[in-house]
Amino acid sequence: MTEHIKIKNENNETIKAGCVVVNENNEVLLVGDKEGKIWSFPKGHPENGETLEQVALREVKEETGYEVEIEKRLSDLAYTHSQTGELIRVAMFKAKPIRESGKNLDEEEKYFQSAWFPLEKAKEILYYNLAFLLDELK
């Protein structure tokens, strides 16, 4: 598992980035725990020298096996980590899949799965503070 250095902004928020990936069938790519109880968008921490866009692209590929192309910036997610109290800001991008390249699962990702969902179903199963991003896809 790669050790990520937490990068903070001027508001002491930990910076992350991710994507809302939408395919030609208007389905959304989500990542979830192995039990399928918690679903989210692929996202994660930057590695040294990465731009937010590079972080988002890398995280999608690592967590889902898809290479994607960013189409536009969406609203940021801002929340407080429920267990640590850490302030987190996630730069989110709308993206489309280019190709599936397969995943090289590291220890962390063995506990996750990814799947495509119709927009309405995605709204129902997404973690509660994420569904608003689907309204920005239009």
CA 99 from centre of chain:
17
- 65-96: pLDDT as tens digits: 999 999 999 999 999 988 999 999 999 999 99
Q: What is the mean pLDDT of residues 46-55?
A: 93
- DSSP for the chain? -PPPPPPB-TTSPEEEEEEEEE-TTSEEEEEEETTS--EE--EE---TT--HHHHHHHHHHHHHSEEEEEEEE-PPEEEE-TTT--EEEEEEEEEEEEEE------TGGGGEEEEEEEHHHHHHHB-TTTGGGGGG--
What pLDDT shows up at residue 37? Answer: 87
What pLDDT shows up at residue 43? Answer: 95
Q: Percentage of residues in the chain with pLDDT exceeding 90?
A: 71
State pTM to two decimals: 0.89
Class level of CATH domain 14-100+110-133: alpha beta
| Residue 104 confidence (pLDDT) above 70 | no
